[in-house]
Structure 1
Amino acid sequence: MSSDSSSSDASTFERWRRRFGVMTGVGISEQERLAGLEAHRGRTCEKWKKELMHYSPSVVFMLKHLKLSGCNVTPDNIVCSPCDMSRSGGFSPQAGAIVMCQSHFFSKRHMEDTLVHELVHMYDHCKFKVDWNNLRHHACSEIRANSLSGDCKYTRELRRGFVSFSKQHQACVRRRAILSVRANPACPDDATAERAVNEVWESCFNDTRPFDEHPTVQSFARSLK
């Protein structure tokens, strides 16, 4: 056996050993295991991001309409990063960037819903010049993002432990919008968050832009009424 072949075999074995160690914890320290797991999640997030930006109908549709609105979104504007476990993504108006929380996704479909949610925020910021310190503005974008992204589909709600057979979608959108507005530093209390959502509910829940010209989403929107 040549030295080149032996070196290749050793390298292959080392990669296998590390992969096995990351999954089981055998042969490596806990710190190495966690670092390896985070690196794996980062690679998976980047892979899914690339696939979604090229092949997801809803993501491609949002990217198209962002570009038409004067905001061209590139892969550099969507960043995979470790985050705390309280959220799966976020939009930074100051940076013009979306953060995908790589440790939080349980499937590519989950990441797709999250990405569409954040792209709706980016679209609102680009097209309507949202003032994120204005709680009514924030509430409107949260209502739209939760309603249009798939975040409130029945299976997602079931996974969260919420089961309803009457107006489940509306209840989810309202609940999640209130929680998001409550987290705004400009919001003093729960009652203020709820009031902001209630004040803009009807107009913002029925606003499906830019999906209002998409036949599939038009049908979906009509089914909610």
Structure 2
Amino acid sequence: MSDPAAAPAAEASTPTPTPASVPGFESWRRSLAHLTGLGLSDDERLLRDKEEERRRLEKDWDKCERWKKEMMTRSPIIVFMLKHLQLAGCPFPSSAMQCHPCDASRAGGFSPEHGILLCQNRFMNRRHMEDTLAHELLHAFDHCRFRVDWMNLRHHACTEIRAANLSGDCRWSREVKRGYWAFSAQHQACVRRRAVLSVMAHPKCQGKEDAERAVGEVWDSCFRDTRPFDDIY
């Protein structure tokens, strides 16, 4: 027969649960530490940041690739440009349009050697990416059809005028979001401004006046040239 007096002592000897001994507490604590950064060592925080960056890059890449593939079959302007590149003898497969992270200075680019760069982390929305891809496909078309000399400022100015004019990059809604609007000649002003900015980045350009001169010299003929479109998109 047990001694009733011993029961309190036995109960008193039972260890009080601590948070660390509760099942699942440690994994919860670690998750919270990784979320907030509190309680992590410098090495653990560095590993956490690298893992978050990796996941962000993968997410951006997946979205960029998904949108690109959809545009290649469903976007009227992208399908149209791909068709005319094919007709011009320069087919542009999906592999020639690469999604990569970029700095804040660009949303895309075209290189005769490497194809089109789509800056996966720079797109505000699907329409922004569509306009960017159309812009770069116009450069690809000009390079294929007209044999652009990319080291010639006048050639560069002409293809920049055409790309800004025809890609949708200067539509009224885009300009308003940039803080530019006018009741007349807004489209022309946008095309000229963006062409000048692009030419200014050319390694042979000596400054804004040099870029404005190159754009001005080819403006009339290049702004009127809507090939392969019948009119401004």
TM range (shorter): 0.7 to 0.9
Correspondence list, 1:82-93, <5 A: 82-93=101-112
Q: CA deviation at 1:26?
A: 5.3
Q: Is the 8 A contact 1:85 1:103 kept in 2?
A: no
Correspondence list, 1:125-164, <5 A: 125-164=143-182
Gaps of 5+ in 1: 1-19, 213-217
- Choose the corresponding residue for 1:192, options 187, 192, 210: 210
Aligned to 1:63: 82
Question: Relative to 1, partners in 2 of residues 1:25 and 1:121: Cα closer, same or farther, differing over 3 Å?
Answer: farther
Correspondence list, 1:170-209, <5 A: 170-209=188-227
Task: Please say if 1:37 is aligned against 2:56.
Answer: yes
Task: Name the larger-Rg structure.
Answer: 2
TM-score, scaled to structure 1: 0.82
Aligned to 2:137: 119
Aligned to 2:73: 54
In structure 1, what is the Cα distance between the partners aligned to 2:180 and 2:106?
18
TM-score, scaled to structure 2: 0.79
Aligned-residue sequence identity (percent) comes to 56
In structure 2, what is the Cα distance between the partners aligned to 1:67 and 1:73?
7
Q: Is the 8 A contact 1:52 1:59 kept in 2?
A: yes
Aligned to 2:25: none
SS in 2 for 1:99: strand
Q: Is the 8 A contact 1:177 1:197 kept in 2?
A: yes
Aligned to 1:4: none
Gaps of 5+ in 2: 1-30, 38-44
Q: Is the 8 A contact 1:25 1:33 kept in 2?
A: no
Q: CA deviation at 1:25?
A: 4.7
* 1:120-161 residue CA offsets vs partner (Å, 9 max, x unmatched): 000000000000110000000000000100111111111111
In structure 2, what is the Cα distance between the partners aligned to 1:196 and 1:112?
28
Q: Which amino acid aligns with 1:150?
A: G
In structure 2, what is the Cα distance between the partners aligned to 1:94 and 1:49?
20
In structure 2, what is the Cα distance between the partners aligned to 1:86 and 1:158?
20
| Number of equivalent positions | 194
SS in 2 for 1:105: coil
Task: Please say if 1:210 is aligned against 2:231.
Answer: no
Question: Relative to 1, partners in 2 of residues 1:179 and 1:25: Cα closer, same or farther, differing over 3 Å?
Answer: farther
* 1:165-216 residue CA offsets vs partner (Å, 9 max, x unmatched): 221110010000001001000111211100000000011001000012xxxx
